[in-house]
Amino acid sequence: MQIAELSVLLVWGAATALTIALVAFAIDLGRRTEARADAHAEARTPAAVGAASGPTSTIPSTQDAAPAPARRRAAGIAMSTTWLGTALLLVAIVLRGVAAGRTPWANMYEFTLVGSFMALAVFLGMNLRKDFKFLGAFVTGLTVLFLVLGLNVFYVAATGVQPALQNYWLVIHVGVAISATGIFTVAFVASVLQLLRDSRDTGSPYLLRPGFRWLDRVPTPTSLEALSFRLNAVGFVLWTFTIIGGAIWAEHAWGRYWGWDPKEVWSFVIWVVYAAYLHARTTRGWDGRRAAWFVIVGYLCVLFNFTGVNLIFNGKHSYSGLNTDTTGGA
């Protein structure tokens, strides 16, 4: 078996492990929701008995009536399989680089692998400091989707790169862009959950159905918005370095810093959207649902920059590797 084939098998293994993690995260979220509902029901029952027995009866609070936290076995399985999937994906990326003889993020397939790895790394790193497992089902779900899409749609053979990309800036420029994309992915998940939780809290008929009770176990919309803002602020700084590094690399490769290439234009559009979001939230008071929609629009621009620009437009950065024999930068 060749190294490139082993890399592909490990990516499938990572997708399998992350699918198991997705199911386990969903089970954990559902069980926590049921446990909370049961605790509230038990708290109301003594209150009713106390009211009937007279004024001398003691009515325990909800906190007193809540049972001790049960061992979250599903959460443990979810985190373990997420770590496993992330490790398998990392090995697959390294082997891909060995097979190609270069840095393994030079085309859409490789960018998908490394971007998914970065999103998982951000999520796992966050959980080392605090419990953010409520994001797990959605982060693992997105990464499984991206990995399967990469394997079935974006895959190209592990080969060399175009002469313009044979430069150390491939490591710096694209590496920083991938890191920013991973952070934007987790921030996007937080903003989507913010919108869902806010809609449920404000009485949306559809989200008040029993099937959406799990939303009661995620943080408040305000907390989710603050989390998204912090992540996007870091991602924005990295994206700024992405544009600066790309301009320097463009001057080295093509003799100009900026040329209004489709990839350059859309990278700038992304920067403008996130800059406007950060400015509007910090100085104009754009918070709540408006801020969340800003984040979603920004992430959609990121996705289009990765897919649409590479597949639709023909430019110096159109390095998908899908229509040519050589590969290039994402």
Q: pLDDT tens digits, the chain, 330 residues: what are they?
A: 699 999 999 999 999 999 999 999 999 988 866 555 444 444 444 444 444 444 443 333 333 333 334 467 899 999 999 999 999 999 999 999 999 888 898 889 999 999 999 999 999 999 999 999 999 999 999 999 999 999 999 999 988 777 666 677 778 888 999 999 999 999 999 999 999 999 999 988 888 888 888 898 899 999 999 999 999 999 999 999 999 998 888 888 778 888 888 888 999 999 999 999 999 998 877 888 999 999 999 999 999 998 888 888 776 555 555 554 333 444
Q: How far is CA 178 from CA 38, 47, 275, in A?
A: 43, 54, 18
Whether 191 and 292 have beta carbons less than 8 Å apart is answered as: yes
Does a structural domain hold residue 40?
no
Identify the sign of the CA torsion 321, 96, 89, 184: negative
Name 326's Cβ contacts closer than 8 Å, sequence gap at least 6: 159, 160, 161, 162
The two tokens of residue 237 are: 């700084």
| Residue 206 falls inside a structural domain | yes
- Quick check: is 228 in a domain? yes
Task: Report if residue 33 sits inside a domain.
Answer: no
Q: Based on the structure, what is the number of domains in the chain?
A: 1
The per-residue DSSP string of 29-84 comes to: HHHHHHHHHHHHHHHHHHHHHHHHH-TT-----HHHHSPPPPP-HHHHHHHHHHHH
Which structure tokens are listed for 48?
């009713």
Name the residue type at position 41. A
Q: Is residue 28 part of a domain?
A: no
Handedness of CA 121, 126, 132, 133 (dihedral sign): positive
pTM: 0.85
Residue in 301, 182, 282 with CA at minimum distance from that of residue 231: 182
- Taking CA atoms, 134 is separated from 29, 62, 64, 110, 217, in Å, by 7, 23, 25, 28, 8
CA dist 301 → 141, 147, 246, 294, 310 (Å): 20, 20, 18, 11, 13
Say which residue the tokens 């799990």 belong to. 214
In a domain, 123, yes or no: no
Establish if 46 belongs to a structural domain.
no
Give residue 260's domain range: 161-330
Query: Is 230 within the bounds of a domain?
Result: yes
